[in-house]
Amino acid sequence: MTAVKDFPLSAEKTKDGGGRTRLLYGFTGITLALVVLCLGMALFYAGQDITQGDVQRIFYTHISSFFGAFIAFSATVVGGIQYLRTRHPKWDSLALAGVEVGTVLAFINLATGAIWARPIWNTWWTWDPRLTSAAVMFLTYVAYLMLRNGIDSPERRRVFASIYGVLAIATVIFTLIIIRIRPDTIHPAVIGSSPSTGAEGGFEMSSSMVTTLLFTLLTWSFFLTPALIWWRIRLENTLERVNKMKQIYLER
């Protein structure tokens, strides 16, 4: 039970456990309100793109989900490094939560990109450098989860996952910068400029679009992603307590 009691986000009924639970509920409520506001701004406040029409509105979710995944995978790096330093299971729980949340957000990024591509490029998928790197990033973390579950020894599993999670961030960074360094990508650079010329699907952003994008980015990166990670850690702590109780029961 040590790993569960010591973890800062544990749901264990300790002296301050109720306070943490109330904090989590409050943070979750604020997050839900902000996410609803983001959707409203994307649908009704942001101006319509002249070239792409309403389909461009999906980009607020598309871009924000990627940056949310970046935050989640960065948490995995922190958790992995700290676990290798301290061998404390709480950091492995953080790393695992980061991967699971980041993988879901990376999938949302891919799915919304495909939905946008169909009316703009007349195809659901093309092997553009940015799209390919995003797919490789997603599959890299799916492999993390599969390989992790294939190791029986808890200590070996945590060490392997920590090293893998730290190294895998390279795929995220590469996906983030590829449209800045590859002149042959047709993926538009919504933030900043791209070296590609004649790329279809690019657009100029009005002030309302910029405001909506920034607000959505901040919400997904610093509210939605941390809230999901927090809930996942809480679930992991509960699972650890259940397994501990099960082990004690079987040993009787």
Q: Which pLDDT score, from 0 to 100, does residue 107 have?
A: 98
Q: Which of 110, 104, 112 is nearest to 134 (CA)?
A: 110
For residues 229 and 116, the model is more confident at 229
Q: How many residues does the chain have?
A: 252
Specify the higher pLDDT residue, 163 or 186. 163
Once rounded to an integer, what is the mean pLDDT over residues 242-248? 83
Q: How much of the chain, in percent, has pLDDT values that exceed 90?
A: 62
Write out pLDDT tens, residues 33-69. Answer: 999 999 999 999 999 888 888 888 999 999 999 999 9
Q: How far apart are CA 132 and CA 130, in angstroms?
A: 5
Amino acid (1-letter code) at residue 166: V
Residue 7 has pLDDT above 60, yes or no: no
| Prediction pTM value | 0.86
pLDDT at 201 (0 to 100) = 47
pLDDT at 4: 41
Residues 124-164 pLDDT 10s:
888 888 889 999 999 999 999 999 999 999 999 999 999 99
What per-residue string of b and e applies to 77-101 under the rule 16 or more CB within 10 Å gives b?
Answer: bebbbbbeeeeebbbbbbbbbbbbb
More confidently predicted of 186 and 241: 241
pLDDT for the residue numbered 191: 55
User: pLDDT tens digits, residue range 193-223?
Assistant: 444 434 444 556 789 999 999 999 999 999 9
Q: Which two tokens stand for residue 229?
A: 């990670």
Q: Which residues contact 34 (CB under 8 A, 6 or more apart)?
A: 219, 223, 224
Question: What's domain 20-189+205-251's architecture?
Answer: Up-down Bundle (1.20)
More confident residue, 167 or 190: 167
Percent of the chain's residues with pLDDT above 70: 84
DSSP symbols for the chain: -HHHHHSTT----STTHHHHHHHHHHHHHHHHHHHHHHHHIIIIISPPBTTTBGGGGGHHHHHHHHHHHHHHHHHHHHHHHHHHHH--HHHHHHHHHHHHHHHHHHHHHHHHHHHHHHHHHSSS----HHHHHHHHHHHHHHHHHHHHHT---HHHHHHHHHHHHHHHHHHHHHHHHHHHH-TT--S--SSS--S-SS-TT-----HHHHHHHHHHHHHIIIIIHHHHHHHHHHHHHHHHHHHHHHHHHHH-
